């Protein structure tokens, strides 16, 4: 077995984003990504099943943070208050470095329909994690699913605002604003 | 050019579903689908870009029916009332034959993660069609998007109920019930 490589997943993500930006997603191979990161192909495959998943590496960790955030909310919290707690937990986990490379990530995905489908699926997976955590609190399924969708939307909208170079607020502050805006909009559905 | 083949898309869909059920999605080729339908591969490619899209053939027509349904709703309709009109238009377009082959369609998709991603993307595309039709009526973007999501959810939930062999109601009746249930659930988000 190869020896442990410090920060291997992070190095692979950054190398992949560089290569995707330089030569396109379709033209980039796993061998090239590993080489750019100074790692072997075998190391790549210890962390990611294929080059696509490099772009969606956070999905499992993000789902867990959301689920744990819901579980940790006080018993008295409404469904949307529990979702707000989950978004606090998730957004607090993002680093300045993630913010820095996010525009490249977004650009690669926007340029490729297959990656857009994968991104839609990731969002659905995050919403599913929220839904099941809410259901465990006794929230009825349909309400849990709607609250989760508002949470996933708030997260996506907040992410887009947070990665703007001009943005001054924290990711958590922006996510709270977005969730509140969505809550207000639900009152005007008729 | 090949001559016009009556009902070619429908024949191809039915042939594909038969083959996917018999031998699996992954093991089925476009050549086999065309052969089973008594058509050429060239005819297949006039209607579908690949075997996957056979399963999602309705996406464009469904999007148009939803958009037209929203546009045709009275000026006085609330966002959710316009969505209800769109669902009426869409659900009325489904045939008894579609209901009959739906369980096979659902089973193939449930068995394949790539197809599940594609199905999630189709739902997002339907919601996007509703959203832009609502925005054209002057509904604010965020409200339009939420109303559209409720419409897409109601459609999906109603579809699952409608294709149950024991179901007695029309697709349209079921979709109205589901949209109403979602509307009620939004009131309990907190």
Digitized pLDDT (tens) for each residue of chain B, 190 residues in all = 455 677 899 999 999 999 999 999 999 999 999 999 999 999 999 999 999 999 998 888 999 999 999 999 999 999 999 999 999 999 999 999 899 989 999 999 999 988 988 888 888 899 999 999 999 999 999 999 999 999 999 999 999 999 999 999 999 999 999 999 999 999 999 8
Phi, psi dihedrals of residue B93, rounded to the nearest 5°: -80, -10
Contact: B147, A121; criterion CB under 8 Å: no
Average pLDDT, chain A: 93
Inter-residue contact A79 to A143 (CB < 8 Å):
yes
- Residue A5: is its pLDDT beyond 80? no
Q: How far apart are CA A150 and CA A144, in angstroms?
A: 10
What are the start-end ranges of the H helices in A40-170? Answer: 41-47, 51-54, 59-72, 79-92, 96-110, 113-136, 141-162
Give chain A positions within 8 Å (CB) of B117.
Answer: 117-118, 120-121
Q: How far apart are CA B190 and CA B187, in angstroms?
A: 7
Q: How far apart are CA B57 and CA A50, in angstroms?
A: 29
Q: How far apart are CA B162 and CA A99, in angstroms?
A: 45
- Residue A11: is its pLDDT beyond 60? yes
- Residue A3: is its pLDDT beyond 80? no
Inter-residue contact B2 to B42 (CB < 8 Å):
yes
Give chain B positions within 8 Å (CB) of A185.
Answer: 140, 142-143, 146
In chain A, pLDDT over 70 holds for what percent of residues? 98
**How many pairs of residues across A and B have Cβ atoms under 8 Å apart?**
71
Q: How far apart are CA A36 and CA B88, in angstroms?
A: 54
pLDDT the model gives residue A150 = 96
Q: How far apart are CA B181 and CA B169, in angstroms?
A: 16
Residue in A142, A181, A185 nearest the CB of B182: A142
Q: Scanning every residue of chain A, which has its alpha carbon at the shortest distance from the alpha carbon of B76?
A: A190
The pTM (predicted TM-score) of the whole model is 0.78
Q: What is the pLDDT of residues A33-84, one digit of tens each?
A: 999 999 999 999 999 999 999 999 888 899 999 999 999 999 999 999 999 9
- Residue A155: is its pLDDT beyond 50? yes
Inter-residue contact A67 to A129 (CB < 8 Å):
yes
pLDDT the model gives residue B4 = 65
Assigned token pair, A27: 């033209």
Q: Scanning every residue of chain A, which has its alpha carbon at the shortest distance from the alpha carbon of B157?
A: A142
In chain A, pLDDT over 90 holds for what percent of residues? 84
Inter-residue contact B67 to B130 (CB < 8 Å):
yes
Contact: B120, A117; criterion CB under 8 Å: yes
Q: What is the CA radius of gyration of chain A?
A: 18
Inter-residue contact B171 to B107 (CB < 8 Å):
no
Contact: A181, B142; criterion CB under 8 Å: yes
pLDDT the model gives residue B1 = 47
Contact: B182, A146; criterion CB under 8 Å: yes
Q: What is the mean pLDDT of the segment spanning A82-100?
A: 95
Distance from CA of A139 to the nearest CA of B (A): 9
Confidence of residue A4 (pLDDT cuts 50, 70, 90): low
pLDDT the model gives residue A1 = 47
Distance from CA of A59 to the nearest CA of B (A): 15
pLDDT the model gives residue B57 = 85
Q: What is the pLDDT of residues A20-32, one digit of tens each?
A: 999 999 999 999 9
Contact: A189, B150; criterion CB under 8 Å: yes
- Residue A180: is its pLDDT beyond 90? yes
């Amino acid at each position: 077995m190869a020896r442990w490589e410090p920060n291997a997943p992070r190095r692979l993500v950054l190398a992949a984003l560089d290569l995707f930006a330089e030569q396109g997603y379709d033209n980039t191979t796993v061998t090239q990504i590993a080489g750019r990161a100074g790692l072997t192909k075998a190391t790549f495959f210890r962390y990611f099943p294929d080059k696509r998943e490099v772009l969606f590496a956070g999905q499992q960790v993000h789902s867990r943070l959301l689920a744990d955030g819901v579980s940790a909310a006080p018993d008295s919290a409404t469904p949307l208050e529990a979702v707000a707690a989950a978004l606090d937990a998730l957004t607090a986990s993002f680093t300045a470095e993630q913010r820095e490379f996010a525009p490249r990530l977004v650009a690669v995905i926007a340029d490729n329909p297959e990656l857009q489908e994968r991104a839609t699926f990731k969002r659905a997976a995050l919403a599913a994690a929220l839904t099941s955590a809410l259901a465990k609190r006794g929230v009825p399924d349909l309400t849990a699913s709607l609250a989760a969708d508002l949470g996933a939307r708030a997260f996506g909208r907040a992410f887009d605002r947070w990665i703007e170079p001009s943005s001054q607020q924290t990711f958590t502050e922006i996510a709270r604003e977005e969730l509140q805006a969505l809550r207000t909009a639900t009152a005007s559905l008729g």
